[in-house]
């Protein structure tokens, strides 16, 4: 009885020891396997399976050159880009004096005139002047206009925000310049005439797009740096002088009546010239008919009685 119990305990102890020996070395074996595999993983990562081989075609290189890495987003907010323009309608007492003062003020602030028109009717002298003024002095010039006017009848200020367009143009320019740089590098590497021709054609297209973007940016820079101010001037013209003497009034009446007669005579001549062609046609048809009628009447009349 005791022998059986002793053998049973001995068997349990032996089984526990074997299981411990089998399970305890597993972490060590896994660590060893991981250390053995790490160099292989590093070597596999060092080899890019998609890297172009030495025999890759020029078309693949052009395709890769046309896909530059997108520039990183700028954390600094972009500078505000606004185009300002103003339209001002004003009355002045002396047109020429006001115009000279406005031009002088514009040049003082660093601006200039780009367009000017002038018209005159019976009672009013009108003119339109377009100024380009540096944006920093835009409000100063508008304040100076008020000093030259008798009355500001209308004033409108408008601002157009082109910040988004400008930022987009800068991003596109950087991308195109990166493509241009890659194509230039490919041209140095290629030796086949066909490949060089393909790269040259692609490069010319990219450079045209770059110049187009730069031209648009230069235009926006000019409009942003210089505001456009359109000034419409109006000066009433006094035709009658209430303090004039009697002889001046008589002379003015004579001049007015003479001008009226000349104007009436001129209109009559114009009316006659307009009616002359149909009158000539009627005369060419009517005069022969009238003469024929008179001859028939004369022949049909009875001869006079002889006494």
- pLDDT digits over 196-210, tens only? 889 889 999 999 999
pLDDT digits (tens, 9 = 90+) for 101-133: 999 999 999 999 999 999 888 788 899 999 999
Q: Which residues of the chain have pLDDT under 70?
A: 1-77, 238-245, 301-307
Backbone φ and ψ of 135, nearest 5°: -60, -35
Where do the domains of the chain lie?
A: 55-239, 241-270
pTM (2 d.p.): 0.52
Task: Name the token pair of 14.
Answer: 């032996």
């Amino acid at each position: 009885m005791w022998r059986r119990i002793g053998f049973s305990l001995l068997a349990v102890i032996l089984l526990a020891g074997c299981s411990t020996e089998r399970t305890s070395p597993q972490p060590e074996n896994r660590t060893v396997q991981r250390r053995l595999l790490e160099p292989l993983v590093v070597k596999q990562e060092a080899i890019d399976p998609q890297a172009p081989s030495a025999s890759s075609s020029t078309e693949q290189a052009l395709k890769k050159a046309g896909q530059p890495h997108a520039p990183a987003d700028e954390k600094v907010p972009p500078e505000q880009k606004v185009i300002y323009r103003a339209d001002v309608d004003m009355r002045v007492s002396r047109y020429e004096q006001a115009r000279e003062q406005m031009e002088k003020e514009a040049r003082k602030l660093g601006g200039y005139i780009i367009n000017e028109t002038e018209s005159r009717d019976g009672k009013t002298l009108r003119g339109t002047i377009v100024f380009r003024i540096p944006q920093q002095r835009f409000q100063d010039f508008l304040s100076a206009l008020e000093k030259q006017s008798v009355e500001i009848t209308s004033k409108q200020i408008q601002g157009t925000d082109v910040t988004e367009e400008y930022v987009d143009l800068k991003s596109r320019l950087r991308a195109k310049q990166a493509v241009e740089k890659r194509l230039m590098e490919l041209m140095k590497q290629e030796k086949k005439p066909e490949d060089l021709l393909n790269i040259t054609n692609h490069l010319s297209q990219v450079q045209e797009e770059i110049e187009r973007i730069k031209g648009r940016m230069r235009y926006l820079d000019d409009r942003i740096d210089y505001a456009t101010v359109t000034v419409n001037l109006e000066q009433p013209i006094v035709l009658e002088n209430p303090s004039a003497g009697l002889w001046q009034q008589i002379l003015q009446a004579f001049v007015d009546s003479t001008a009226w007669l000349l104007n009436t005579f001129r209109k009559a001549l114009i009316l006659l010239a307009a009616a002359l062609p149909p009158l000539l046609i009627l005369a060419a048809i009517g005069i022969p008919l009238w003469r024929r009628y008179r001859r028939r009447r004369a022949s049909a009349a009875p001869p006079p009685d002889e006494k």
